[in-house]
């Protein structure tokens, strides 16, 4: 397998059940499909695409349905997990491959895990960043999230679930909101222990009221922020937020798979300062049962939520080392 360090980025539009899916690919070799989270885009993998290409892989980072140059269906229920999984399957097929490794971050981690669970014949290995795998099941999600926070504040997931509510906060100043949201979950700019938690909204308030107001995190340049802001100023946030508005539908759709493990080779990488990782510590502890073919679980000390952008060298090394084991 020969590395291709000078390979160029290639933008492509492919057909999916929802219409078009935009992706950016680099390199040749076994296919690695990269799935971003909220509120991001294919650009979140800009530091992984060349590294994977140089290691001898064909890396393809998608714009998830509702983001960037991909289609944005009008119906809220067009963003349920089953549909996003089918988009991933369509991407693999459109790229001329029978199977792929799928790697996801944040919501992309859930989408990647669900893709592997529902289509093991297509996704023969899965990498999960920041958000651990937890099998389908348990109580209805809105019931759980509605109890978090108590009488004085509301969990951000519940806040995002009400159509139009978060949009009214975000869209008058997309760039400023994104800057605050990214900073709130980054290791070097997140609020200190004891300060108001940006995962919660005071009743009648806004999420951004708890964002830090200082400099951008070290991983995010002004130019990077411009890229993200330009995407969402063009698309709006509704498509992205509709992922949160389908959690109960997902709970119903995936009921036949309650408690099911993902049995393909897997990898998890989280940050010790990331609430997604710390809140779901029980899910990580359950990996011997839920991810029985787990190759390794890594927690990067002092790392926040945007793991592949905050610590690209470490993440790239862990990903490429793991991918190498899949070829042996």
As annotated, the active-site residues are: 106, 305
Tokens of 159: 């806040």
Task: Give the whole-angstrom CA distance, residue 10 versus residue 323.
Answer: 22
**Where in 167-293 does DSSP place strands (E)?**
200-202, 266-271
Task: Give the whole-angstrom CA distance, residue 81 versus residue 87.
Answer: 10
Q: Is the dihedral of CA 92, 98, 103, 106 positive or negative?
A: positive
Please choose, from the candidates 25, 19, 26, the residue with its C-alpha nearest in 3D space to the C-alpha of residue 4.
26
Query: How many other CB atoms are there within 10 angstroms of residue 154's CB atom?
Result: 21
Burial of 99 (C-beta count, 10 Å sphere; 0-12/13-18/19+): middle
């Amino acid at each position: 397998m020969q590395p291709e360090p000078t390979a160029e980025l290639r933008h492509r539009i492919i057909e999916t059940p929802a219409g078009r899916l935009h992706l950016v690919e680099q390199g040749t070799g076994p296919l690695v499909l990269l799935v971003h989270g909220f509120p991001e885009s294919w650009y979140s993998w800009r530091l992984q695409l060349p590294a994977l290409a140089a290691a001898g892989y064909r890396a393809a980072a998608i714009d998830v349905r509702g983001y960037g140059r991909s289609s944005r269906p009008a119906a809220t229920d067009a963003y349920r997990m089953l549909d996003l999984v089918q988009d991933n399957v369509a991407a693999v097929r459109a790229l001329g491959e029978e199977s792929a490794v799928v790697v996801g971050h944040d919501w992309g981690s859930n989408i990647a895990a669900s893709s592997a669970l529902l289509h093991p014949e297509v996704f023969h290995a899965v990498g999960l960043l920041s958000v651990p795998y937890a099998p389908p099941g348990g109580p209805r999600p809105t019931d759980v999230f509605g109890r978090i926070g108590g009488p004085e504040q509301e969990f951000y997931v519940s806040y995002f679930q009400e159509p139009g509510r978060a949009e009214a906060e975000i869209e008058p100043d997309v760039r400023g909101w994104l800057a605050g949201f990214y900073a709130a979950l980054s290791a070097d700019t997140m609020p200190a222990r004891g300060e108001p938690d940006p995962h919660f909204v005071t009743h009648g308030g806004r999420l951004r009221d708890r964002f830090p107001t200082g400099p951008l995190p070290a991983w995010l340049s002004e130019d990077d922020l411009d890229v993200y802001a330009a995407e969402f100023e063009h698309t709006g946030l509704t498509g992205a937020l509709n992922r949160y508005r389908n959690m109960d539908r997902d709970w119903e759709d995936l009921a036949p798979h309650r408690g099911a493990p993902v049995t393909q080779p897997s990898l998890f990488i989280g940050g010790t300062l990331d609430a997604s990782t710390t809140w779901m510590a029980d899910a990580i502890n359950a990996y011997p049962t839920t991810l029985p073919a787990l190759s390794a679980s890594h927690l990067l000390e002092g790392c926040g939520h945007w793991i592949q952008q905050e610590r690209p060298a470490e993440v790239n090394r862990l990903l490429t080392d793991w991918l190498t084991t899949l070829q042996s």
